[in-house]
Amino acid sequence: MFPLIRNRRLRSSESIRRLVRETIVTPDDFLVPLFVVEGKDIKEEIPSMPNYFRMSLDNLEKETKELWQMGLCAVLLFVKVPDNLKDNKGTEALNPDGLMQRAIKTVKNACPEMLIMTDVALDPYSSYGHDGIVAEGQILNDETSEVLAEMSVSHAQAGADFVTPSDMMDGRILTIREALEDEGFQNTGIMSYSAKYASAFYGPFRDALDSAPVDIANVPKDKKTYQMDFANRFEAIRETQMDIDEGADVVMVKPGLAYLDIVREIKNEVDVPVAVYQVSGEYAMLKAAAEKGWLDHDSVMLEQLIAIKRAGANIIASYFAKDFIRILG
């Protein structure tokens, strides 16, 4: 007896494979993270993120135009704040002329159609490297949410299209939504980092922004009291559902690759767009292995991006966006 059904028929040539392929990644899927620094004519490579850069506003302008020309349509902004401007309350985050606020305007001027999302959390502004205000060894929840709401309004005033709270305080989506409504920003969206795990994959990002928690007495050494325990699954659904109920337009799972089970589960559970953040450590791992000649960079990159999309991502925040466009040719 021969097999009647031969699945290999659908794999027998590239043309049939193209015809039946279930998942494709396109430039429309990407959200491009960008790191901004003070200064002029600065484009410095981040040591643990080969070929990824911190840039001053003049280079941010050039980069924005280049990304748009390449077919990319959305950026996610982060700033590296000088030490002398950091404090426990992240006061500088509210400066209407702060680096983030100027970065938003720079992108808007360079390319009015480019969608601008901004990171909302205190860590780059915090002298302790935490996403919230520290008091007596704790990260204060409600006080932090109030600052995040003011920060969101400030980003909206500067021209941000979406604010993206990445802090994991309870109730902050509602606090932010109400503040945006009160100030007349009913069209400013919220992409919530809703299932964000306490992950060691964020290491290179904290190098990039000099934002790691500091090692001093009475300051928590890690972010485990607010970011999620990576052993948990049900909690991710609860967090995500609550953020939607509080007004999140888009939800996110972070990191990516090691959490694709969570992505699929959330995708099956909710009806808002789901973003996935392929984080700095994931980028660093592939760059390092490729540099050693141990993995083929482009093939592994594509496999990973397809896997993220296949798991259910509608949006992929990724440092590989430009590399992906390059292989499209």
Give the nearest distance from C-beta 124 to ligand PBG in angstroms.
Answer: 7
- Closest to ligand PBG by CB, 146 vs 183, is 146
Pick the closest to residue 317 from 118, 42, 121 (CA basis).
Answer: 118
Per CB under 6 A, does 131 bind ligand PBG? yes
Tell whether residue 121 is a contact of ligand PBG (CB under 6 A).
yes
CB 56 within 8 A of CB 37: yes
Active site residue 196: yes
Q: Residue 151: which residues within 8 A CB-CB, separation 6 or more?
A: 90, 93, 94, 120, 163
Please name every residue paired with 22 in a beta bridge, in sequence order, or none if there are none.
none
What binding mask, one character per residue, do residues 54-93 give for ligand PBG by CB under 6 A, x or -? Answer: ----------------------------------------
For residue 239, say whether it is annotated as part of any ligand binding site.
yes
Among 166, 188, 192, 304, binds ligand PBG (CB under 6 A): 166
125 scored as a contact of ligand PBG (CB under 6 A): no
> Is residue 145 part of the contact set for ligand PBG (CB under 6 A)?
no
User: N- to C-terminal Cα distance for the chain?
Assistant: 46
Nearest distance in Å: CB 119, ligand PBG: 5
Q: What is the nearest approach in angstroms of ligand PBG to the Cβ of residue 2?
A: 51
Binding flag, residue 321, ligand PBG (CB under 6 A) = no
One of 29, 63, 92, 119 touching ligand PBG (CB under 6 A): 119
Alpha-carbon distances, residue 130 vs 39, 140, 207, 221 (angstroms): 25, 11, 14, 9
As measured in angstroms, the least distance from the Cβ of 328 to ligand PBG is 23
Whether 40 is a known active-site residue: answer no
8-state DSSP, 10: G
Q: Which stretch binds ligand PBG (CB under 6 A): 11-19, 99-107, 116-124, 264-272?
A: 116-124
Q: Which two tokens stand for residue 282?
A: 């994931």
What residues between 198 and 237 interact with ligand PBG by CB under 6 A?
Answer: 202, 205-206, 223
Distance CA 324, CA 254 (A): 20
Going from the C-alpha of 9 to that of each of 6, 13, 15, 284, 314, the distances in angstroms are 6, 8, 12, 38, 30
| Residue in this structure with the two tokens 């896997």, named with its chain if needed | 307
Stretch of 13-21, 86-94, 118-126, 257-265 lying at the interface with ligand PBG (CB under 6 A): 118-126
The active-site residue out of 223, 254, 287, 309 is: 254
Kindly tell me which of 25 and 121 has the beta carbon lying closer to ligand PBG: 121
Q: Which of residues 271-300 bind ligand PBG (CB under 6 A)?
A: 279-280
Q: How many CB atoms lie within 10 A of CB 49?
A: 20
Q: Is 265 in the site for ligand PBG (CB under 6 A)?
A: no
- List alpha helices for the chain, DSSP H: 14-20, 57-70, 99-110, 141-158, 172-182, 203-209, 234-246, 260-269, 280-291, 297-311, 321-328
Contact between 239 and ligand PBG by CB under 6 A: the answer reads no
**Which of 152, 138, 147, 163 lies closest to 226, judged by CA?**
138
Using CB under 6 A as the binding criterion, the count of chain residues that bind ligand PBG stands at 12
Looking at the Cβ atoms of 183 and 203, the one nearer to ligand PBG is 203
What are the distances in angstroms from CA 257 to CA 50, 97, 206? 19, 37, 19
Site for ligand PBG, rule CB under 6 A: 119, 121, 123, 131, 166-167, 202, 205-206, 223, 279-280
Annotated binding site for Mg(2+), which residues? 239
Question: Which residues carry out catalysis?
Answer: 196, 254
